[in-house]
Structures are given as C-alpha cells and as structure tokens.
Amino acid sequence: MNFYQQLEQKFRDNAQGSALLLPGDETWDYADLLSVIDDIALKLLDMGLQRGQRVLVQVEKSPENLALYLAALKVGLVYVPLNTAYTEKELEYFIEDSQPALYVGAHARTDVPSAQLRSRSHGCPLISTTLFSSVETGPPPTEVLDSEQLAAILYTSGTTGRSKGAMLSHGNLAANAEALCSAWGWREDDVLLHALPIFHVHGLFIASHCALLMGTPMVFLPRFDAAEVLQWLPKATVMMGVPTFYTRLLALSDLDAQRVQQIRLFICGSAPLTEQTFLAWEAATGHRILERYGMSETIINTTNPLEGDRQPGTVGFALPGLELRIANDAGEAVPVGEIGTIEVRGPSVFSGYWRMPEKTRQEIREDGFFITGDLGRVDEGGRVSIVGRAKDLVISGGFNVYPKEVEVALDKMPEVSEAAVIGVAHPDFGEAVVAVVVPHEQEVTLEQVDRALADTLARFKQPKAVFNLSELPRNAMGKVQKNLLRDAYANTFSDDA
C-alpha cells in the first residue's frame, strides 16, 4: 500500500470518529474529510491532471486545504506546498522550477495574477481554492502507486542561493509517520493541538501524519494565536510547536499545570529550544518538553525519549531505522564527543533535489548518507546535540566558534532575553564574533557581555561587538534568519563603518 492508501483505510475504518475540531465548535469527522478529499480528487482528475505531475499550492491553512493535499496524494500527483508569504515575483521561480500542471493559491485571485505571471506560467492553469467548492460528489479511484512514487517536493527556505526542492516519496512519508507514532506512543484517544502552518514539513507531515495515520482528531487552528491556543489546551493531549509557541504561551499569566492536566506530551522542534524556555515551561506546567530534530529533506532525524530523560539542549536519539553519524569532510565518523557534520541514512531520507543532480551528488554521498549541514556531537549513550549550521560556523583568528555555545552563555545573562551570534568580516581576525541580543529592559553593553562571559568562554569566542534589537528576525517556523543579521552588521569592522 502507498501512504495515501494506508491513510484512506484508516479514515474508512474510523469514518464516524472526529478528524478536525475547528474554531466555532465545527467538527469534521473522518467521513466528512473523506468526502471532501474525493470531491477535490475528482476535480483534479476532471482537469486532466495525471499521476506524477506537480501541483503547486500556496494556500491558507483550512480543512479544505488539508483535503487538497490528501487528494493530490490520492490521485498520484506530486504536492508542492509554498509559503503563503511568497510574493508573485518569488512565485515565478517556483513555477519555472517545478513546472506544475496546476497552481492553486492566492496569486490567482481575480485582480492578480498579473499578465507577467500568466506569461511565465507556461500555460499552467492558475486557480484559487474557491474553485473547488462546486464539485459533484462520487468516489474516484485511489491510484495504486509503489512506495518509490514521488509524493511531495518541499522547497527549502533557501537563505543562500536558489531554493532547492527536496523530493519525498510515499515510502519516505510512510516510514517517518510510522516511526513517529511508535516513538511518541500515539494513542487512540490522543487529540493533537495543531496550530502550525501546513506549507512546511513540521505542520504538513510531522504533526498531521501522526494524527491521520492513527485516525485521531486534531484541533486544527488556522494560525498560532497564544490566547486561543491557551483556550484549546484543556481539550488536547499532545501539542507540537516551534520554540516561539512556548515562549509566547509562557508570557500569558493563565498558563498553569491545571490548564494542561489533560496533556501527555509537549513536542518542540524546527529551531533550537533554549534551556531557559525548557526550564520555565517545566516550572509553569510540570512538563518537560520533548525536543526533536528534523528537516525538509529527512522529516525527523532524532527525538528525545518518550520514557526516560529529556535533556534540554539536546535533540535526543536517532529515530529507530535511521542511521546517524557525526562525520568529517570526507564522510568518516569522528570519535565520540567530537564535533562534526550530522549525516543520516534511512527510509525517510529524500531521494534528491528536484532538477538539481549536481547538488544532489554534493549532498548525498555514494553510500547513501545525506550531509545535513548541521554541526553536532553524539555522546557515549547516542544522545545528539546540535551546535549550529555549518554555514553559521564562525572562524575567528583561525579558531572555530560554534554560535550555539556563545548563545547559551548569553542566554544565561539576566539582562538578556534572547541572543543570536553571527560571524562578521574583521580585518584582523578574518571573522569576529558578534552578538545580537534582545534585552529584557535596558540595552546590553559590550562591557556587560565581557564581564559575564569572561570566566565561561575562551577569549576568542567572546563577542567583539554587541547589538540590541527589540526582537530577532525569524521566519514562519521561528528560525532566526542569521543571513539578515549578517547583512545588517556586515560593515561593523570595516573602515567605512
């Protein structure tokens, strides 16, 4: 069975069970979800779309749009979700690159798309989702596909160079979803609180697939709004979020152990969870957040344990079935405890980048290991810690500085709310460590940072400049956009600065 057949089987078996709990007391059961999937699948077939063709989708989160994803899987299309924030100009690249047979999304509303977008779409129909609403019902056939069949292309956020499309098969999705349901002990009475966007691996695959594969309900919120999430928490048993969800909820005075007594598991990922947030959450709710680590190309790589110690600052153990090694540039495993690049191989690892064979060869080794680009270390017990992205590594005066280590030290300062560390060109050191901090109240000075870090970090790791911001620039998944910080402070040490 391909992944959608597996899901469909579950939906049918559990037709009367709740699938989506929505704001305004609306509920979809699995029979409702199945019928909307079938409607949309028919419409896609009516439009003449064929297995293997791409459907490029840039839509708001809604039950119908979740059904659109599942309908695309059902008829064997390749689903290509896009961040709703992308402009028409950015969209042109994705149309050019993915060569879709259909675009569904905001830029197809009546006043747009522009003539230019039309001319660049190579005849691909551009429609908005509302066009799906008037379709007649009737179950279309589910494509019989093998597990190698492409299910989706996820474009990486691409902070440098062209955005790359990671190709994931039905087999990749199924393997990861099954491994997660088992690792997180998914139960028949679980209710997932889902406030993540559905254009990204976290909300679309990791969160949704656990609930769908087990036929359990999701509280399906259109976006993350801390006050609204707080209201829904008593109805859920599991919440998945990015670190910002947790920091924003912590800022609300109504968060306490009583409110989350139904919850059995808080899961966090997509960006590093600070020790401060982990501890503050435990103090407020009694729960130790389970941090896990994943990415578009591999879905989930590691997770802290369901049973056993969840340690802040670590991302846990490789998922069963996935091989993980810490390697040097030649792909050889480095000794236990040393820092190197995290490489993974296993059934959820993508097959390559769409139309980029050269990039694929550079990043997937001949032995099948994918070079994640994340730097980390593994302890004797197999527990993984991430120290930063390889491209964020700062080399100052010939010494390697791992931003995470400096950020952890800065986070411990009582004056600092959060911090990001970057490397900036320096005439003497090549690169210098620069700290960008969000202060609690008054601006944090370089002298204060010097004093606070003097006994904890070697001199070469200490920041040579400190900038204060009211907040760090983050993308939709809560990742700090260090490229923007590097651009903003690029001239800090140059003569004309």
Where do contacts with ligand AMP occur on this chain (CB under 6 A)? 156-157, 201, 269-272, 291, 293-296, 315, 372, 374, 386, 389, 477
Sign of the C-alpha dihedral, residues 221, 223, 227, 233? positive
Residue 307 contacts residue 283 (beta carbons within 8 Å):
no
- End-to-end, the C-alpha distance of the chain in Å comes to 61
Q: Which residues contact 459 (CB under 8 A, 6 or more apart)?
A: none
Residue 264 contacts residue 238 (beta carbons within 8 Å):
yes
Of the two residues 76 and 294, which places its CB atom closer to ligand AMP in the complex?
Answer: 294
Instruction: Kindly report the number of other CB atoms within 10 A of residue 240's CB atom.
Output: 26
Q: How far is the CB of 343 from ligand AMP (least distance, A)?
A: 12
Of the two residues 196 and 386, which places its CB atom closer to ligand AMP in the complex?
Answer: 386
Of the two residues 33 and 485, which places its CB atom closer to ligand AMP in the complex?
Answer: 485
Of the two residues 89 and 391, which places its CB atom closer to ligand AMP in the complex?
Answer: 391
Q: How far is the CB of 229 from ligand AMP (least distance, A)?
A: 20
Of the two residues 129 and 169, which places its CB atom closer to ligand AMP in the complex?
Answer: 169
Place of tokens 């798309």: 113
Q: Angle 3-13/63-74 helices, nearest 10 degrees?
A: 120
- Residue 90 tokens, joined: 């950015």
Q: How far is the CB of 409 from ligand AMP (least distance, A)?
A: 17
Residue 372 identity (one-letter amino acid): T
Q: How far is the CB of 250 from ligand AMP (least distance, A)?
A: 18
Of the two residues 175 and 201, which places its CB atom closer to ligand AMP in the complex?
Answer: 201
CA 60 to the chain's CA centroid: 17
Q: How far is the CB of 392 from ligand AMP (least distance, A)?
A: 9
Of the two residues 168 and 315, which places its CB atom closer to ligand AMP in the complex?
Answer: 315
* Complete DSSP assignment for 341-355: EEEEESTTS--EETT
Q: How far is the CB of 58 from ligand AMP (least distance, A)?
A: 17
Q: How far is the CB of 313 from ligand AMP (least distance, A)?
A: 9
Residue ranges of alpha helices (H) inside 297-445 are: 357-363, 403-411
Q: How far is the CB of 154 from ligand AMP (least distance, A)?
A: 7
Instruction: Kindly report the number of other CB atoms within 10 A of residue 371's CB atom.
Output: 18
Of the two residues 64 and 297, which places its CB atom closer to ligand AMP in the complex?
Answer: 297
Calculate ∠ Cα 33-37-42, nearest 5°.
Answer: 150
Of the two residues 269 and 439, which places its CB atom closer to ligand AMP in the complex?
Answer: 269
Residue 372 contacts residue 341 (beta carbons within 8 Å):
yes
Q: In the 8-state DSSP scheme, what is residue 24?
A: G
Of the two residues 248 and 389, which places its CB atom closer to ligand AMP in the complex?
Answer: 389
Q: How far is the CB of 393 from ligand AMP (least distance, A)?
A: 12
Nearest to 143 by CA among 232, 210, 52, 206: 52
Nearest to 484 by CA among 204, 35, 159: 159
- Residue 98 tokens, joined: 């993915």
- Residue 235 tokens, joined: 């109805």
Beta pairing class for 238-241 and 323-327: unpaired
Beta pairing class for 394-396 and 399-401: antiparallel
